[in-house]
Amino acid sequence: MSGGGSASSSKNFIPIVQKYDRIILLIDMDCFYCQVEEKLDPSLKGKPLAVVQYNAWRGGGIKQESRDSRALRIIAVNYAARAKGVTRHMRGDEAKEQCPEIQLVKVPNVREKADLTKYREAGKEVANVLQRFTNLLERASVDEAYLDITEAVNKRMQLMNEGSFVLQPQELVNTYVVGYDGIGEFVTDITKYYNKPSAYEDNDNNDDDDDDFRGFHGDNIPSLRLSNIRLLIGSSIASEIRAAVKAQTDYECSAGIAHNKILAKLACGINKPNKQTILPLAKIPELFETLTLGKIKGLGGKFGEEVCERLNIRYVAQLTKFTESELQQKFDEKNGSWLYNICRGIDLEAVTPRFYSKSIGCCKKFPGRNSICGLKTLQHWLQELANEIIDRLEKDVIENNRRAKQMVVSFAQEFDGEDTSSSRSAPLLNYTVEALTKSAFEIIKSNTKQFYRAGSESVLNNPIKFLGISVGKFETISNNQNKLQEMFAQQAAKKRRISEDVNEEQIKETFSKAGGNKIEKPENQSIQALQKEVKTKDVRSFFWKR
């Protein structure tokens, strides 16, 4: 059993005494695949749109003219299509029936499988912008990244106290706060205590929110107002980051601002698209009262189902009635402590700098009648997967100056009517399609009790339902290995993507001297109404030199 709290060699954790010291952002690209397609074809903007992937087995047994639409699996839907009732769970024909005007853009196929190259390249383009703001950037996926901006927030706090930094109201456009009607109410809640000596450093708070939070944490809690100030400054930085992404790439994104990764991810999903959300510490108990356990990262799968079943609970707040020792007894020491902390809004996982992916992989499913039963078919698909891996490795070694040391083969076989999954690793000794194909085949063969059907050397005893190859454990190529890099530069058939040079003047125009970004006013004036109109004097009265 493994829950979200399970440690691994790739994760780092902070001391628990620092649990409220950080300001973490999650940047999430809105309907990213759809945005990429809209950028490639501007005529699609504003129209209901879905990006679809062809699944051959969907059309089995039906007429050819209707096969394509039934075999199209939706992998991304823009908000215009969602407003018409289209969801990712639909097939192409179902989306057309629900929304006849929807545009279906097909992911290109290479080697009989989806080619996601253009989306990966777009993700790198965004990451190039994000890394200018902090070295603590962790790419979680093609369209998500965590940023630890604690250092930047602390610097602005210092400048604020010196009187050289003033938070501008326009920096808070499209900013929302969990538990508040609008950002204006949140700012007012902070500024109304401005003249009190305890506004920065006290712990003798008497608000109901403070009492609720003490119910979670006891008396050892931070100044909630100081926490709110730091989150507010973090939101201004998040706004700058989102503006820079838009200016440099033309892509829009949303953001979550909180004290850790899990809270930032929760906050990010509350208000979308093209918005950002702050999750204050004092509002965590209220949020967790109605937040189902599966919404927490690490509890969305079997472990979360087990926790709900064994404890007979549904909502995150219900975990707080169990002591840490009780949870450890039920779910082991590590997972018990993690559950005890997470239901109190505590996540100690650090943002681990990771610009490049930890692994390069590809896979393909073979369900039902498409399962692999013959030797030649297996060898064909292993070679197709190996071709894609080597293509991407050739490009990776040129761009990132690193080499993978390990390969992992994943496969699912049918035994007595049930699918059994396996995964095995081996050293990666050679960057060739032939070597990778051969190694993958030997791994599958050596880990199958009876590989061939009795009396045959070409028919598999157990049909294969899934194949995947990935490579990882990268190491930087040293100077004396540059010949390898040059070799791949010559071999690479694909064009290298050339990153645009940073235009310093354009960046200067994007940001004001006070740290604020030039964000255009929202076209929809109702947004400002929702945010209760943040007044200049409300902000400046608080952030002038004390």
Chunked into runs of 10 residues, the chain (546 residues) has average pLDDT values of 49 92 98 98 97 64 45 92 96 95 94 87 96 95 96 95 85 94 92 53 49 54 84 97 98 99 98 98 96 96 96 98 97 96 97 88 93 96 95 84 94 91 94 95 95 94 96 83 52 38 35 35 40 46 42
Q: Which pLDDT value is given to residue 395? A: 84
The pLDDT value given to residue 201: 43
Bridge partners, residue 524, by sequence = none
Query: Quick one: pLDDT at residue 71?
Result: 74
The residue among 52, 58, 71 whose CA lies nearest residue 370 is 58
pLDDT of residue 109: 87
Catalytic (active site) residue 144: yes
Strands (DSSP E) contained in 109-258 are: 109-110, 113-114, 137-141, 144-148, 175-177, 253-258
φ, ψ for residue 366, nearest 5 deg: -135, 70
**Of residues 144, 185, 306, 399, which has the active-site annotation?**
144
Q: What is residue 6's predicted lDDT score, i.e. its pLDDT?
A: 43
Those residues with Cβ within 8 angstroms of residue 377's Cβ, 6 or more apart along the chain or in another chain: none
**Residue 69, pLDDT score:** 61
Domains of the chain: 12-46+109-199+217-290 (3.30.70.270), 292-353 (1.10.150.20), 359-476 (3.30.1490.100)
DSSP string across 304-324: HHHHHHHHT--BGGGGGGS-H
